[in-house]
Amino acid sequence: MIATKTSIRLTPSRQPESLIKDNKPIVLVDSAVQTRAYELYELRGRADGHAEQDWYQAEADLRAEQQTKREV
């Protein structure tokens, strides 16, 4: 039996323009995340071993802050 290749072309679904405007991605600047992560490090009393946790928390904090600004 001979195997044949079948190519399937998928086209992305198009959303109405109004939905795209309301759902713009939140863009974080690394320097802002770094600054917030360092603030969290200092608030913890400069305890080592939590850098990754601080970074993710800083990202979450900044996303929440930007989301709040969008809703106003």
**Which pLDDT tens digit goes with each residue over 32-60?**
999 999 999 999 999 999 999 999 999 99
Listed residue (64, 65, 58) closest to 41, CA to CA = 58
Phi, psi for residue 12 in degrees, rounded to 5: -65, 145
pLDDT of 28: 86
Is 45 strand, coil or helix? coil
Q: What is the pLDDT of residue 2?
A: 54
Contact 61, 35 (CB under 8 A): no
pTM above 0.75, yes or no: no
pLDDT in tens, 10-34: 455 554 444 444 567 778 899 999 9
Q: What is the pLDDT of residue 45?
A: 97
